Structure 1
Amino acid sequence: MLNSISSDGCGFCRSTAFSSTSLTETQKRYCQIEKELLAVQFGLLRFRQYVYGQKVTVESDHKPLVGLLEKPIATCSPRIQRMRLQLQRFDFRLVYKPGKELFIADTLSRAPSPRLFTDDVTQDSEDQVHHVLHSLVTSVSTRKRYAEATALDPTLQLLKTVIQKGWPEKRAQCPASVKPYWSVRSDLSMVEGVLLCGSRLVVPMSLRRETMEGIHDGHFGETKSVLRAKSAVYWPGWEDQVKNMVASCSVCQENRGRNPKLPLHPVRLPDYAFQLVSADLFEFERVNYILLVDSYSKWPCVVPLKSTTSSAIIEEMSRFFCDFGRPEELESDNGTQFSSAEFREYCASLNIKQVTSSPEFAQSNGLVERHIQTVKRTLLKMFAEGKSLWEALAAIRSTPVSGSLPAPSVLLQGRNLRGVLPFLDASLSPKLVPASFVRQELSRRQQTAAFVQPRPPSGSSSVAVQSAVARTARPVAGVNTPSGQSSVFQSSAQQESTPVRSVEAPSRPVREIPASPARLLVSRIPVRDRVVWVPPSASSGQHAPVAALGVTRSGRRYIKPPPPSQ
């Protein structure tokens, strides 16, 4: 029915023309939403001499049709795509109007004319629909198998009935087995006994296992498998099932690559001392220790433990908190001492937030892990000199954190600790370090550690220094001999009996030192235990002459160049 609205501004509507047609046998098998769009197409094409080039408002009592026309054409079913392409020549706007307000069209639709118009172009869409189906499933046997499986699937048969009769207004009114298809109801269509969701096949239950195997053919990853399935098939919950299939594939798991390293996120910076602390246990020389570090001042608290139970940890923690106050946040690993209910209750009673690091990822608790290395290294050296744990802690606490941050004792207590260093009286008097300055420096150190990368290793040769006492070799900067070969420092007792061992280049870049006397290497090994050994010449098979050692007037030791050859 074609209505015209008066132009005098009163909005009077007058019927201009009427037309109707009967559906063909093919059109009767359309789903309800396709029939509704077919009615719109028939009306615009039938009255094209009136509406072509004009802005037209089309009223329909089928509300899902309004949302269907707002979707991209490529996402619609093939038949709806064809209809929408034919309607693109018209400038129309589709609006929803309840059926009780369309009483004239509703009345006339109950007595349609059996006449079929010869200029009906809707039949042309069937060729395009069948072409799409044949392009999706090229094999005739496969199409027949999908049609037979669809006919034997009770859920899809009920879905066919709902599509033909039309979807209800609300999801709750749908049958329970059809509700999973509610979100794609406007994309569903039927062609030759096969259900389509847009341009994808709706897979029956009996063929889903076979389809899953075809999706995972080639053992692609999760993303590629989902894309393969998305391009051809559909059923409710297909995406989760494809992801689970890839995750449970033993072949894929055995040959999967390593997970990429996640970017490091900066940790929270404290505002004052002992606001954020980190704790961990470590063992040194068969003795267990507990280490507590303040992230603001880097002040370490270390005590030996008689037991590693939660009760022993709580007892030592109580002593630390008595001296320095209760922190706001305590970070630790997931050890049984820290993850026990007793320790959690202890932290809750003191109003301390307990944070645990990721399992098997010690880097997330890097503050205490790095201090464990420092404490172990210091204990190893100071125990060798016969000193105690407390002397080692005093040395760490009185050493500046960096070139811009003072010692932990100054950051925590505002003063230097009186010890082996001869401090002036002014240096021992209390002084305040502004918290804003400390936070700024901590932020700068954090950014430097995250973004400044070490230089790549150079190709210079390395040599090994062997101590006469420890007999351990360590790589140092290369020394070029007159013959262009690297030299090796060794003990005089081992000079003749110990062969030269090749030393791999260190991970840190080394520096070439020319053979000039002004730039020669100075070793920390005493002179009496140090000689230079030059590898034998390849041509003569004899040892090269040994270079002599000298001492300058200022006391600096150097290697004398060999005398000129005769």
Structure 2
Amino acid sequence: MLRLQPYDLKVSYKPGKYLYIADTLSRAALSEQSLKEVDQELDLHINMLISTLSVSPEKLKEIKENSIKDEVLSKIIIYCQNGWPEHKRSVSPSVKPYFDFKHQIYVIDNIVFKDTSIIIPFNMRNYLLNLIHEGHQGINSCIRLAKGTIYWHNINKDIEKFVSQCHTCLTFRNNNSKEPLISHDYKLLAWNKVGIISRVGPEPRSYIISSPEGEFRRNREHIHLPKYPQSIQVPSKPSVNSHHLPLNSNPT
């Protein structure tokens, strides 16, 4: 199969009556030398896969030792070596979650792979979860880090549970929340936006005031209110003289 990958094959059906030599493939069997070439290509493919893994040799050795001892992975190794059962009901219950994609599973030096991802033994999963969440990233970011590198059944749920229970993330989660953006509907009217800011709050920055030409400009219009606002003489304020009185008693 590896030797056929460089080619774009077109498969077509041919009725048996047109197969004049039915055993053509068996008569044109590959020689022993060709099989050795295939084995060499397979070894090159395996070595390339191992060399591109972002895992240290010490950690690979640890994964290998724990995979042999793991209850689930040890059975998967046996299935890969001796062949998978034909029906899912014949598979051990602990291995059933892996049966649906059994053709994507293979074993290299007692390390179980799913495509390019290493299937991690059970007793090393907590270590990998801590390593993935070392930078205290969010759930989706941690899932993306793990994708294509490590795998086990329900890994996404385990990552979501681990991140949602992180003490550090829970402590600073509210401090990092983003305020939603509020859109404003500006009209060509003076006093379009009127607000009241208490002493404990920040100083007002600007209000949107429309010019006589109908253009918007930003001005700082600040009227200081005493303890009892009803005693203020509003018409004497410069802002009122410039823009007249507010027309709405319930400004937005």
Tell me the TM-score normalized by structure 1.
Answer: 0.32
1:91 corresponding residue in structure 2: 9
Name structure 2 gaps, 5 residues minimum: 14-21, 188-192, 194-206, 209-217, 247-252
Residue 33 of structure 2 aligns to a residue in which SS?
coil
Offset, 1:198: 0.5
Residue 220 of structure 1 aligns to a residue in which SS?
coil
Offset, 1:157: 0.9
Q: How many residues align?
A: 203
Cα 1:477–1:259 shift into 2, 3 Å: farther
Please give the residue correspondences for 1:3-42 in structure 2 after superposition, counting only pairs within 5 Å.
41=1
CA contact (8 A) 1:463 1:479 kept: no
2:105 corresponding residue in structure 1: 188
Residue 462 of structure 1 aligns to a residue in which SS?
coil
- The reply on whether 1:258 has 2:177 as its aligned counterpart is yes
Cα 1:213–1:478 shift into 2, 3 Å: same
Name the amino acid aligned to 2:185. Answer: Q
Offset, 1:131: 1.9
- The reply on whether 1:202 has 2:124 as its aligned counterpart is no
Cα 1:152–1:258 shift into 2, 3 Å: same
2:215 corresponding residue in structure 1: none
* Larger Rg belongs to: 1
CA contact (8 A) 1:464 1:473 kept: no
Relative contact order (C-alpha < 8 Å, sep 6+): which is higher? 2
Output the CA distance in 1 between the equivalents of 2:91 and 2:181. Answer: 46
Output the CA distance in 2 between the equivalents of 1:475 and 1:180. Answer: 75
Offset, 1:135: 1.8
Output the CA distance in 1 between the equivalents of 2:235 and 2:101. Answer: 70
1:523-552 deviations in Å (ceiling 9; x for gaps)? 9xxxxxxxxxxxxxxxxxxxxxxxxxxxxx
Residue 93 of structure 1 aligns to a residue in which SS?
coil
- The reply on whether 1:213 has 2:136 as its aligned counterpart is no
Offset, 1:205: 0.9
CA contact (8 A) 1:200 1:232 kept: yes
- The reply on whether 1:135 has 2:52 as its aligned counterpart is yes
Counterpart of 1:462 (choices 221, 226, 230) is 221
2:201 corresponding residue in structure 1: none
Higher strand share: 1
Output the CA distance in 2 between the equivalents of 1:133 and 1:161. Answer: 21
Offset, 1:165: 2.4
2:90 corresponding residue in structure 1: 173
CA contact (8 A) 2:70 2:121 kept: yes
Cα 1:182–1:452 shift into 2, 3 Å: same
CA-based RMSD: 3.8
Offset, 1:141: 1.4
Offset, 1:158: 0.7
CA contact (8 A) 1:149 1:204 kept: yes
Offset, 1:452: 6.5
Residue 137 of structure 2 aligns to a residue in which SS?
coil
2:142 corresponding residue in structure 1: 225
1:54 corresponding residue in structure 2: none
Output the CA distance in 1 between the equivalents of 2:139 and 2:235. Answer: 48
CA contact (8 A) 1:196 1:202 kept: yes
Residue 112 of structure 2 aligns to a residue in which SS?
strand
2:212 corresponding residue in structure 1: none
Higher helix share: 2
1:195-216 deviations in Å (ceiling 9; x for gaps)? 1111111100111111111111
- The reply on whether 1:117 has 2:42 as its aligned counterpart is no
Output the CA distance in 2 between the equivalents of 1:476 and 1:161. Answer: 91
CA contact (8 A) 2:63 2:111 kept: yes
Offset, 1:119: 2.7
Cα 1:209–1:472 shift into 2, 3 Å: farther
Residue 118 of structure 1 aligns to a residue in which SS?
helix
1:158 corresponding residue in structure 2: 75
- The reply on whether 1:126 has 2:10 as its aligned counterpart is no
1:28-76 deviations in Å (ceiling 9; x for gaps)? xxxxxxxxxxxxx4xxxxxxxxxxxxxxxxxxxxxxxxxxxxxxxxxxx
Offset, 1:220: 0.4
Name structure 1 gaps, 5 residues minimum: 1-40, 42-82, 96-103, 264-450, 481-485, 488-511, 514-520, 524-566
Residue 44 of structure 2 aligns to a residue in which SS?
helix
CA contact (8 A) 2:104 2:115 kept: yes
Offset, 1:217: 1.4
- The reply on whether 1:242 has 2:159 as its aligned counterpart is yes
CA contact (8 A) 1:215 1:228 kept: yes
Name the amino acid aligned to 1:87. Answer: Q
What is the percent sequence identity of the aligned residues? Answer: 16
CA contact (8 A) 1:463 1:477 kept: no
Output the CA distance in 2 between the equivalents of 1:243 and 1:92. Answer: 44
CA contact (8 A) 1:156 1:204 kept: yes
Offset, 1:473: 5.0
CA contact (8 A) 2:114 2:151 kept: yes
Counterpart of 2:185 (choices 444, 448, 453) is 453
Tell me the TM-score normalized by structure 2.
Answer: 0.66
Output the CA distance in 2 between the equivalents of 1:247 and 1:475. Answer: 54
Name the amino acid aligned to 2:46. Answer: V
1:319-354 deviations in Å (ceiling 9; x for gaps)? xxxxxxxxxxxxxxxxxxxxxxxxxxxxxxxxxxxx
Cα 1:253–1:122 shift into 2, 3 Å: same
Offset, 1:460: 2.9
CA contact (8 A) 1:226 1:242 kept: yes
Offset, 1:243: 0.6
Name the amino acid aligned to 2:9. Answer: D
CA contact (8 A) 2:77 2:110 kept: no
Name the amino acid aligned to 2:34. Answer: D
Offset, 1:148: 0.6
Offset, 1:90: 5.4
Output the CA distance in 1 between the equivalents of 2:116 and 2:8. Answer: 25
Residue 106 of structure 2 aligns to a residue in which SS?
strand
Cα 1:183–1:465 shift into 2, 3 Å: same
1:370-421 deviations in Å (ceiling 9; x for gaps)? xxxxxxxxxxxxxxxxxxxxxxxxxxxxxxxxxxxxxxxxxxxxxxxxxxxx
Output the CA distance in 1 between the equivalents of 2:53 and 2:7. Answer: 29
